[in-house]
Amino acid sequence: MIRLLTPNELDLIKKSINRDQHFLYYSYLTVRKQNTVHVGHFSDQNELLGILASFKGLPFLAFSFLPLQSAFCLQSTLKFMGSQLNFPKHGMGSIIVNEADLDMFTSQITPIETPRKILLMKHVDQEALPKHTPLNVTPFGPAHHNLIESKMTEMNTLAFTKDELDYPFCGIMEENQLVAVGGFHIYCEDYAELGNIVTDISYRKRGYGRSISTELTRVGKLMTPNVYLNVIDNNDVAVRLYQSIGYQIIRSQYMINFDMGKN
């Protein structure tokens, strides 16, 4: 049986999972809950085999999943969800899966391209983090929303959702131009996740990324002791930068894009 999960069921699931182990799905149960739909696949004995969740608010179809048993039929669950939510037949879906679940996912859902490895990092060394704001970093607020979105579009990187634009941002201005900026995907007392941090090509190798990462981490730590970020595995420079200010790799994941019409 495949059906939508109830609020009570979601509350029970939230109590049973570990944030560090199921980072994306945990966000679908907490800070992103109001914009998500969760579908469960059950056995004939009414045992929950797995969950697929969809998030609205991004320019593509975003998913997360929680496999609980090997009998979980992800493909059927996706088709059921598509019929309930009227997904476009050939829209692009995107999901991040744990390394341990990669084979299970790709055995049922065919990726458009080779999955990209992503590292989940958590800030664990407070002593490595500078205690003061870098002099060249400026805090940004709601008045800068358009400026931030324009820069993200210009750099061809994932934009922040409307809700995320209300979180703190930090940027660097040069000659009245925004040349580097970063913010949060999640910012609450439970935990925080640093979002996109971008720097204009002509202003790279000046330490701007480090300055913004440092300040965002410091701001995040004022809200919660649990501060995370995701980084592409082959970006060795960024990984070393984050490690130098106190982050540690805690999990390997894969970002997968797939054609809804072929699955």
Task: Kindly report, residue by residue over 115-156, the tens digit of the pLDDT.
Answer: 999 999 999 999 999 888 777 899 988 888 888 888 888 877
Q: What is the 3-state secondary structure (H, E, C) of 107-129?
A: CCCCECCCCEEEEEEEECCHHHC
pLDDT beyond 80 at 197:
yes
Longest Cα–Cα distance of the chain, Å, equals: 66
Mean pLDDT, the chain, rounded, equals: 92
Sign of CA dihedral 125, 139, 183, 26: positive
The mean per-residue pLDDT over the stretch 98-120 comes to 96
Interaxial angle between packed helices 208-223 and 236-244, expressed in degrees from 0 to 180 and rounded to the nearest 10: 50
Instruction: Report pTM.
Output: 0.92
Domain ranges of the chain: 2-115+257-262, 125-245
Q: What is the pLDDT of residue 63?
A: 97
**One fold for both 2-115+257-262 and 125-245?**
yes
End-to-end C-alpha distance for the chain, whole angstroms: 19
**Second-level CATH architecture of 125-245:** 3-Layer(aba) Sandwich (3.40)
Options 2.40.50, 3.30.200, 3.40.630, 3.30.70; which CATH number does 2-115+257-262 get? 3.40.630
CA atoms within 13 A on the CB side of 57: 17
Q: Which residue has the tokens 């960024």?
A: 238
Those residues whose C-beta lies under 8 Å from the C-beta of residue 142, and which sit 6 or more positions away, are 165, 166
CB 55 within 8 A of CB 34: no
pLDDT beyond 70 at 159:
no
Percent of the chain with pLDDT over 90: 72
Least confident piece of the model among 35-44, 123-132, 202-211, 231-240 = 202-211
